[in-house]
Structures are given as C-alpha cells and as structure tokens.
Amino acid sequence: MILVTGGAGFIGSNFVLDWLRVNDEPVLNLDKLTYAGNLENLAELQGDPRYAFVQGDIGDKALIDTLLQKHRPRAVINFAAESHVDRSIHGPGEFIQTNIVGTFNLLESVRGHFTSLNEAEKATFRFLHVSTDEVYGSLKADDPAFKETNRYEPNSPYSASKAASDHLVRAYHHTYGLPVLTTNCSNNYGPYHFPEKLIPLMIVNALAGKPLPIYGDGQQIRDWLYVTDHCSAIRCVLQAGQVGETYNVGGWNEKPNLAIVHAVCDLLDELRPRASGGTYREQITYVTDRPGHDRRYAIDASKIERELGWKPAETFETGIRKTVQWYLDHQDWVANVQSGAYREWLDKNYAGRAR
Ligand code: NAD
Ligand code: TYD
C-alpha cells in the first residue's frame, strides 16, 4: 500500500481518486484537515476497502511512526503543505511549521521506517515529495523556462518554506540514503480546487455576480497544468523515476493572468450566460498587487518527457472547459466550502485592496 499525506486537499484528493481508478493498490490518507482539507472530495470512496483515512499532522512523529509500523507502506507521497502564497504573506508561521518542521518530522519517521525494511523492501521503497516551480523564483520575459538545474531563488514565505523542505528531502537522500524523488510542478487547476486560488475564485465570484480581482496589471505569467496530468506525472515518477532526482512537471501552457480570467469569463458566457445580459468580463476589477509578486514562472518539462515518457493529456483549452463545467455541475460543493472562515479570508485579503 501507499501512504499519501495531504490527500484531502486539492491535488491530493485528485491523486487518491485517480490512483484508485487506475489500480487497486490500497491508499492510506493522512491529513490534518486544515481549512484546505475536505473529506467531501473523497466521498465516493466511502466503504471502499482499498481506502483508509487518518486525521493527523505530518509533524506528529509518534503518530506517523505508529502508522508506518502498522501499515508498512511501500511508498510515501507527501502532498501535505500550506499552499497559498497570499496566506503566507498574511501569516508565514504555519508555513514554517508544516512545510519545513512538518516535512522534517515526516522524514525522520520515514528514515526510521526505512531502516526497519529488509533489503528487497528497501530496494523498492520510495519517498516522493511534491513541490513547486515557485522555488526557482521569478523569470524575465525572455528567460528560458525553469530546468531542474536552475538555482533556487524563492521570493515568498510559501516558496521559501517549500524550498527548505526540498533541501531537507535532498539531504536525507545524500546523508542517509533515503530513496527520495522530488517533483516541482507549475500551477495546477481542475476539480476540487479551493476557491482562494485564481481560477476557482474567478469562477465562483463570476457566478455570484462579484468582482473578479486582478492583482496589479494582470500580466504576470504562470504555466498551467491540469490536475489529472499532474497525477499521472507523479505515478510515472514513482514508478520509474531515478532515486535522488528531481523532475519538473508542466503543461506547456504559459499564460498571463488576464488571459486566464478572460478564458473563464468567455466559457461562462457560453455555458451560463449572465441573467442581466452582457459579459462576465464586465466584473473584472484591478486591485492592489501582491507584495513581492513573481512576474513569470515557466516549466521546461523535457526531462520527465524524455526520461520517463510522460506527457500532459490536456491542452489549456480542454482543461479549462472541463474545469468550468465541473464547477457549474458541483454548486453544492462550492456552497459547502464557503464557510465563515472562507468569508473571513476574503475580507482579510481583498477588503483593503480596492484601487
Ligand atoms: P491544498 O492547500 O489544497 O491542500 C493541502 C492539504 O494538506 C490539505 O488537505 C490540508 O488539510 C493538508 N495539510 C496541511 N497541513 C498539514 C499537516 N501539517 N499535516 C497533514 N496534512 C496537512 O494544496 P494543493 O494545492 O493540493 O497542493 C498539494 C501540494 O502540491 C503542496 O505541497 C503544494 O505545495 C504543491 N503544489 C501545489 C500547486 C498548485 O497549483 N496547487 C502547484 C505546485 C505545487
Ligand atoms: P494563485 O492561484 O494564488 O497561485 P500562485 O500565486 O501560487 O501562482 O495565483 C495565480 C496568479 O493569479 C498569481 O499571479 C496571482 C494572481 N491572482 C490575482 O490576480 N487575483 C487573485 O485574486 C488571486 C487569488 C491571484
């Protein structure tokens, strides 16, 4: 079986669902259930004997030790993290705690577990750490896309904490021989994406008749990766990745934020025209920029394509259409995630931002 951490979050829950769709190997999901963790994402697995859930913290070494001894997974895949840049600006403490200290404690537990394995088990065991392209910092307009060999230049508390965790993972390989793999991917989008991030926030706000807040000039560039393509990349790296290596994962979809928001508006105009007429683009508003906002990220995914034969299945056009349709079809899910805490976050992040 495999142990997945953070499997109730956006990418983790897509990964668990996808994993059990394509094979029968059981999954143990350990998740703290922070504001970003949502068991509703995994509702279809209720009663499935291949799936088990434990609520807990990756930093709780005693708990992780017990789980590893009891279940003896052949791999650990670490998705658990605080993941939102804006939240890391308002309050970096949790990012240090989970992303750095938590990953450290998890590595300590996994190191202990690894030493208890026999030689055959050791040969196949893997610790796969899911990271981000944001560790590489910000690119200029004509810089080449990030390669695995780029230096780390993180600029936000979020990316700095992820960079620190990547370094710890690397060190556990070089120092203790832990069989690690690291993936650094670009911005994911798709079903179950919490509406604090750009794409789901824009869909949800548009449908609610609210402003669509564009930070700064909206010309910041990100590469967009459909979440199930990320899931297939992780399976691929887990199966065939070379121990100790890192793999960049991207969708070959570099786009400015404004183009993303226009694409969302245009799809909504087609699929759910505004009752009042006109276009959702009329709801776009420019707001004060994010401090230290990285201008451009771009991923060169040629290593994983060349060495492991992985390729994304979705283009941006197919992926964004599926995503918008998913949100239209899952309005109950959207309503359920808009708790009081969510509304408080929107006030905190957007209230003072109007220009
Ligand atoms: P998310 O915020 O949606 O989910 C994170 C999950 O981790 C939640 O279920 C949360 O409850 C859980 N969690 C948080 N702290 C925990 C702790 N201490 N112990 C156990 N569980 C804890 O994040 P996501 O978007 O699904 O991202 C998953 C991973 O992928 C993260 O490591 C993130 O840095 C990385 N990543 C995300 C993106 C993206 O576009 N979303 C891009 C690149 C990399
Ligand atoms: P986000 O989804 O938070 O991902 P990340 O910061 O990790 O790339 O943001 C994506 C881009 O969209 C980023 O350049 C910030 C911008 N953005 C807005 O313009 N308005 C918003 O309300 C949000 C949440 C993001």
Virtual torsion, Cα 203, 228, 296, 162, nearest 10 deg: 110
Label residue 157 exposed, middle or buried (CB < 10 Å: 0-12, 13-18, 19+).
buried
The pLDDT, as a whole number, for residue 354 is 82
Q: What is the pLDDT of residue 334?
A: 98
pLDDT digits (tens, 9 = 90+) for 149-183: 999 999 999 999 999 999 999 999 999 999 999 99
In a domain, 118, yes or no: yes
Cβ atoms < 10 Å from Cβ of 313: 12
Q: Which two tokens stand for residue 133?
A: 């392209």
Question: Over 80: is that where the pLDDT of 258 sits?
Answer: yes
Contacts of 119 (CB under 8 A, 6+ apart): none
pTM: 0.98
Q: Which atom of ligand 2 is nearest to the CA of 290?
A: 15
CB atoms within 10 A of CB 42: 22
Section 325-339 average pLDDT:
97
Q: Ligand 2 mean position to 126 CA, how many Å? A: 32
How far apart are alpha carbons 140 and 42 in whole angstroms? 40
Model pLDDT, residue 349:
97
| Residue 193: DSSP 8-state | -
Residue 108 falls inside a structural domain: yes
Alpha-carbon distance 165 to 169, whole Å?
6
What are the percentages of helix, strand and coil residues in the chain, rounded to 5? 50, 15, 35
Give dist(CA 245, CA 170) in Å, integer: 9
327 in contact with ligand 1, CB cutoff 6 A: no
Residue-by-residue DSSP string for 269-299: HHHS--TTSS-GGGGEEEEPPPTT---B--B
Per-residue pLDDT at 100: 99
pLDDT at 121: 97
State the ligand closest to the CA atom of 200. 2
Told to judge if 40 belongs to the known catalytic residues of this protein, a careful annotator would answer no
Within a domain: 53: yes
Q: How much of the chain exceeds pLDDT 90, in percent?
A: 99
Sign of the alpha-carbon dihedral angle for 302, 303, 306, 311: negative
Domain that holds residue 144: 2-189+226-252+294-314
158 is catalytic: yes
Check pLDDT > 80 for residue 59. yes
pLDDT tens-digit profile of 290-307? 999 999 999 999 999 999
What was the pLDDT predicted at 133? 98
Which of 11, 86, 130, 198 to mutate for ligand 2's pocket (most ligand atoms within 8 Å of CB)?
198
The verdict on the CB of residue 283 being under 6 Å from ligand 2 is no
Segment 205-226 shows an average pLDDT of 98
Q: Identify whether 217 is part of a domain.
A: no
CATH classification at residue 132:
3.40.50.720
**Residue 219 domain-assigned (yes or no):** no
Nearest to 166 by CA among 146, 185, 187: 185
pLDDT digits (tens, 9 = 90+) for 62-95: 999 999 999 999 999 999 999 999 999 999 999 9
Tell me the DSSP string of 113-172: HHHTS-HHHHHH-EEEEEEEGGGG----TTSPPB-TTSPP---SHHHHHHHHHHHHHHHH
Average pLDDT across the chain, whole number: 98
Nearest one of 35, 81, 91, 90 to 338, comparing CA atoms: 35
Cα 204 to Cα 328: distance, rounded to the nearest angstrom: 9
Burial code (b: 16+ CB inside 10 Å, e: under 16) for 248-263 equals: bbbbbbbbebeebbbb
Identify whether 99 is part of a domain: yes
Q: Is residue 12 part of a domain?
A: yes
Q: How many helices (H) and strands (E) does the chain have?
A: 14, 12
Tokens 């556990």 belong to: 172
Any domain includes 211: no
Quick check: CB of 201 below 6 Å from ligand 2?
A: yes
Mutate to test the pocket of ligand 1, among 10, 94, 294 (most ligand atoms within 8 A of CB): 10
Number of domains into which the chain is organized: 1
pLDDT in the model for residue 355: 77
199 pocket-lining for ligand 1 (C-beta < 6 Å) = no
Catalytic one of 158, 247, 297, 350: 158
How far out from the chain centre does Cα 114 lie? 26
Shortest-distance atom of ligand 2 to CA 158: 7
Cβ of 51 less than 6 Å from ligand 1? no
pLDDT digits (tens, 9 = 90+) for 90-149: 999 999 999 999 999 999 999 999 999 999 999 999 999 999 999 999 999 999 999 999
Ligand 2 contact via 187 beta carbon (within 6 Å) = yes
